[in-house]
Homo-oligomer: A and B are copies of this chain.
Amino acid sequence: MKNAVGREIPAAAAGYGQVAAFAGAFQTTQPLRRYAPLMKQARPGDDKVLDNLAEVFKRIPVKDGMTLSFHHHFRNGDGVLNQVLAVAASLGRRNLNIMISSIFPVHAPLIDHIRSGVVGGLDTNYISGPVGKALSQGVLANPVIMRTHGGRARAIEAGQAHVDVAFIAAPACDRYGNVSGTMGPAACGSLGYAMPDAEYADHVVAVTDYLVDYPLAPVSIPQTRVDYVVAVEKIGDPKGIVSGTTTITKDPVGLKIAQSAAQVIAASGLLKEGFSFQTGAGGASLAAADYMARIMERRGISGSFAMGGITGYLVNMLDRGLFKRIIDVQDFDLEAVKSLATNPNHLEVSAGYYANPFNSGCVVNMLDTVILGATEIDTDFNVNVTTGSDGIIMGGSGGHSDAAAGAKMTIIVANLLRGRLPILLDKVLTVTTPGETVDVLVTEHGVAVNPRRAELASRLKDSGLPVRDVHDLKMLAEKMAGVPVAPTFDGRIVGLVEYRDGTVIDVVRQAGG
């Protein structure tokens, strides 16, 4: 069957069940109830601290085929997934389903665990590094399920993705299971992506290398949801967790695009008192935020909140009063971690609060604008951030689709050519984010506005921005670089791209190499 963005999707998939077709960004409404996890009965004097992970596996017990969940706040410094899977392998567990909010190069051992049968399923929102390549080459029998950050929260909350055991990588933890992300040698700041897991898993394990006196404060994940505490030598590598190297781009093309994006915001009519904003931590996004900050200062505008992967740049904007609050589901550098720990206007929130479309109102719904990237974009404004032009999985939505759906104006910033390839196509290889939720494409060769937003196009033109028809921009790219050959992949389905509402917006097929 074909879905609303014209993609052929299967009626069902192994390890997933029935597939619901994407029908439009706000078209699928389901009468859902929250999952009802087990209630526990803790008594005074019970001790939650176990000696090691193997002991946890025996006490729960962790059985073949169970779903174990993990979060990605440690990014490429995570040590918990690999340690837990090593224990699972040593105990002979088979066919585990691994639900982790994002996968990084450090998680390469996953590939061997898949090959050996320890891991039989994978469910994630973003993949960078060798695991993506191995999945694209078909290492896993069942397709990997790729969700959005908000969609993962929805799936867990609704029990559509049932978590048997959540492993919380805990930068700081007390003996009764209160967890914080802002202290300890592996401090990572917000633990927002772990919160749905802790709330809805049947069993919750905090893994820490920094046990503190009871009661820990502030509490990100509460003792009421944590069943076991395990101290290990090291839960992660701080160098991979907070890099401190996220800086504004120096590339002149990137700076030009960033400046145009800021001008689009300035001309949009949205940049007024109470303005709200999300951006990523990439060099071009930070440059755009910087240009925008200067405009806000010039106009004397104070925004309501900023979101995104939080860096020192956003913290600096909070400290200068350009925004009243930072809403934080993940931190990217030490300034952000420090700000979260000390500034009461810097708020830690859950993935559900951030972006779950099926609660009483997530915060992306309150966004005025978001600046996002694209690997590919097409003339329908559909965006691919999931696969490269070679068909290999090298990303995923993360919060891309969520923020695009929520914001009043979604801006995609991208070089019209990447290397020698146009990024603006007739059809993206994989649809991650539907074009109906994307409003403006900003390139170094001009700005294209989604035809659905005629009024916005007029505003931008009136402000002197180089607004061009998206087809004209595409032809320009092809004039410079030639018409790219659209690759076709007809191998079996190795990935399901799930939209935030639980429908499937596209599939990823096996790629060669």
Contacts and interface: CB of A to CB of B under 8 A. Distances in A.
B217 A345 contact: yes
Contacts of A357: 41-42
B215 A304 contact: yes
B40 A215 contact: no
Interface stretch (A67-75, A106-114, A220-228, A458-466): A220-228
A25 to B, nearest CB: 9
A345 B40 CA distance: 28
A43 B357 CA distance: 8
Given A44-B365, A366-B214, A223 B360 contact: yes
A419 B40 CA distance: 44
Interface string A483-511: 00000000000000000000000000000
A301 to B, nearest CB: 14
A204 B361 CA distance: 12
A157 B344 CA distance: 30
Contacts of A344: 217-218
B41 A29 contact: yes
A80 interface: no
A360 B204 contact: yes
A39 B44 contact: no
Contact of A406 (B44, B222, B361): B44
A366 B36 contact: no
A488 to B, nearest CB: 36
A186 interface: no
Contacts of A362: 42, 223-224
A304 to B, nearest CB: 6
A347 B37 contact: no
Closest 3 pairs between A and B when the two form their complex, measured CB to CB:
A42-B361, A33-B36, A32-B39
14 contacts: A26-B43, A32-B39, A33-B39, A34-B36, A36-B36, A39-B158, A41-B358, A46-B365, A214-B366, A215-B327, A218-B347, A222-B349, A223-B362, A224-B353
